[in-house]
């Protein structure tokens, strides 16, 4: 048996705010990670916040065990001391099975719950994990008199999580989105990579012998992440939540990072993680649609009038479905342009 659909939007604790019905979609091109236990990074957080769409204080992996409490405390202090304006403030808490998760959530909601938009939960394996977080957040929202519900973002980074991705995405009205976690996922699946995201030169297909004189057996590298990313995008779109590509660990390889981000953008992701300032610029470039696509989208929409029927433009057939695609691009451009005068100019909006 399932809960009645009528109860889906009822608070899960007396005194908790009502769940929201539609997930907000402000600019979300990059989730910028920083380590709040690192004094240098923490000092820069307020100025970085002005350059990014989402600022995330990371408490989980990459923060050493003896720095966990300092990271949590550092995040709370930064959250309390700053007004982040339109930039969203997120945190990635430790995993549900860890000794830190409960204090991460309790202390952050108590001290800075009104500043926090989204909690990123790592290593989510099934809807049961989301149900637990859902009820706990409701209890803490009620306890600390929070008026805006905290949303939940899950990382898809275990084989079981991927197997359950659709039910994770649909588990709660708090679900804001999903990110691909290629590093943990590779380990969980026993993939033989030793990197954080991106391709691998060994993952290829080879042509039959004698395919061409110059190169008798040409090969093409394939994308290790395509299957998971496509499943994640479908699960998110079906649930009305937002998919993100995750981390790209080779900071110096800005070219491959851009390719990986662009594949994600083209497949339907709204953003990616940035682990270094150089990746902020890459994400901004990739996840803002190209100006010529926006000019084309405007042309198609205008030529299609009420959006039904068919016309030819430059020899290409347009119909109701191309109008819908063009509206996706144009809506995104409009939302980005609202906050960015340079993009407004570039898109001529």
Site residue total, ligand GLV (CB under 6 A): 11
Would you state the structure tokens that stand for residue 205, as one six-digit string?
């297909």
Quote the CA–CA distance of 104 and 106 in Å, as a whole number.
6
Which region among 67-75, 97-105, 180-188, 307-315 touches ligand GLV (by CB under 6 A)? 180-188
Contact pattern for Mg ion over residues 140 through 159, marking x by CB under 5 A: -----------------x--
Which region among 37-45, 98-106, 166-174, 178-186 touches ligand GLV (by CB under 6 A)? 178-186
b or e along 175-209 (b: 16 or more beta carbons within 10 Å of the residue's beta carbon)? Answer: bbbbbbbbbbbbebeeeebeebbbbbeeeeeeeee
DSSP 192-256: S--SSSS--TT-EEEPPTTS-SS-SS-EEE--TTHHHHHHHHHHHHHHT-EEE------TT-HHH
Q: How far is CA 200 from CA 135, 196, 197, 222, 261, in A?
A: 41, 11, 9, 8, 16
Q: Shortest gap between Cβ of 118 and Mg ion (angstroms)?
A: 17
Length of the chain: 349
Q: Shortest gap between Cβ of 62 and ligand GLV (angstroms)?
A: 9
Instruction: Tell which one of 53, 104, 129, 184 touches ligand GLV (CB under 6 A).
Output: 184
Which of Mg ion, ligand GLV, none has residue 141 at its interface (CB below 5 to 8 Å by kind)? none
CB proximity list for 202: less than 8 A, separation 6 or greater: none
Contact pattern for ligand GLV over residues 233 through 272, marking x by CB under 6 A: -------------xx-------------------------
Quick one: which of 23, 256, 12 has its CA closest to 142? Answer: 12
SS3 178: strand
Q: Shortest gap between Cβ of 120 and Mg ion (angstroms)?
A: 10
Quote the CA–CA distance of 281 and 254 in Å, as a whole number.
10
Which of ligand GLV, Mg ion, none has residue 57 at its interface (CB below 5 to 8 Å by kind)? none
Which of ligand GLV, Mg ion, none has residue 182 at its interface (CB below 5 to 8 Å by kind)? ligand GLV
Quote the CA–CA distance of 126 and 200 in Å, as a whole number.
29
**Interaction between residue 127 and ligand GLV (CB under 6 A):** no
Which of ligand GLV, Mg ion, none has residue 36 at its interface (CB below 5 to 8 Å by kind)? none
Q: Shortest gap between Cβ of 184 and ligand GLV (angstroms)?
A: 3
Segment holding 34, helix H or strand E: strand 30-34
Task: Tell me whether strands 204-206 and 219-221 are parallel, antiparallel or unpaired.
Answer: antiparallel
Which of Mg ion, ligand GLV, none has residue 74 at its interface (CB below 5 to 8 Å by kind)? none
**Interaction between residue 283 and ligand GLV (CB under 6 A):** no
Nearer to ligand GLV, 29 or 153 (CB): 153
**Interaction between residue 155 and ligand GLV (CB under 6 A):** yes
Site residue total, Mg ion (CB under 5 A): 3
**Interaction between residue 184 and Mg ion (CB under 5 A):** yes
Which of ligand GLV, Mg ion, none has residue 233 at its interface (CB below 5 to 8 Å by kind)? none
φ/ψ of residue 137, rounded to 5? -60, -40
**Interaction between residue 181 and Mg ion (CB under 5 A):** yes
Q: Shortest gap between Cβ of 100 and ligand GLV (angstroms)?
A: 16
Quote the CA–CA distance of 41 and 34 in Å, as a whole number.
6
Nearer to Mg ion, 63 or 109 (CB): 63
Which region among 105-113, 133-141, 160-168, 176-184 touches ligand GLV (by CB under 6 A)? 176-184
Alpha helix stretches (DSSP H) within 113-214:
127-143, 159-163, 165-169, 182-189
Quote the CA–CA distance of 341 and 349 in Å, as a whole number.
10
Q: Shortest gap between Cβ of 171 and Mg ion (angstroms)?
A: 20
Would you state the structure tokens that stand for residue 24, as one six-digit string?
């907000």
Q: Can you give the binding site for ligand GLV, defined by CB under 6 A?
A: 61, 122, 155, 157, 181-184, 196, 246-247
């Amino acid at each position: 048996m399932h809960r009645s659909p009528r109860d889906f939007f009822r608070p899960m604790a007396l005194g908790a705010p009502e769940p929201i019905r539609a997930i907000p979609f402000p600019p979300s091109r990059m989730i910028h990670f920083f380590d709040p236990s690192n004094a240098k990074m923490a000092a820069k957080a307020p100025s970085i916040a002005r350059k990014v769409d989402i600022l995330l204080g990371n408490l989980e992996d990459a923060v050493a065990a003896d720095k966990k409490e300092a990271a949590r405390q550092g995040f709370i202090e930064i959250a309390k001391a700053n007004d982040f304006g339109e930039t969203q403030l997120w945190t990635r808490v430790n995993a549900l099975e860890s000794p830190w998760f409960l204090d991460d959530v309790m202390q952050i909601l108590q001290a800075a719950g009104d500043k926090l938009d989204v909690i990123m939960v790592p290593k989510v394996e099934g809807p049961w994990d989301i149900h637990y977080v859902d009820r706990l957040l409701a209890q803490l929202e009620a306890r600390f008199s929070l008026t805006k519900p905290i949303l939940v973002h899950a990382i898809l980074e275990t084989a079981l999580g991927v197997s359950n991705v659709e039910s994770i995405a649909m588990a709660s009205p708090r679900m804001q989105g999903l990110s691909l976690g290629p590093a943990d996922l590779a380990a969980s699946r026993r993939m033989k990579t030793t990197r954080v995201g991106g391709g691998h030169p060994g993952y290829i297909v080879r042509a039959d012998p004698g395919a061409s004189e110059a190169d008798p057996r040409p090969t093409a590298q394939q994308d290790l992440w395509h299957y998971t990313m496509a499943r994640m995008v479908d699960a998110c779109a079906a649930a009305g939540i937002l998919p993100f590509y995750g981390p790209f660990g080779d900071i110096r390889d800005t070219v491959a990072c851009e390719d990986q981000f662009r594949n994600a953008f083209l497949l339907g992701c709204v953003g990616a993680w940035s682990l270094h300032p150089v990746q902020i610029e890459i994400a901004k470039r990739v996840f803002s649609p190209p100006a010529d696509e926006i000019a084309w989208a405007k042309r198609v929409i205008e030529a299609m009038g009420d959006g039904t029927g068919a016309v030819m433009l430059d020899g290409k057939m347009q119909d109701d479905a191309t109008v819908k695609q063009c509206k996706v691009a144009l809506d995104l451009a409009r939302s980005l342009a609202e906050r960015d005068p340079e993009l407004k100019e570039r898109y001529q909006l």
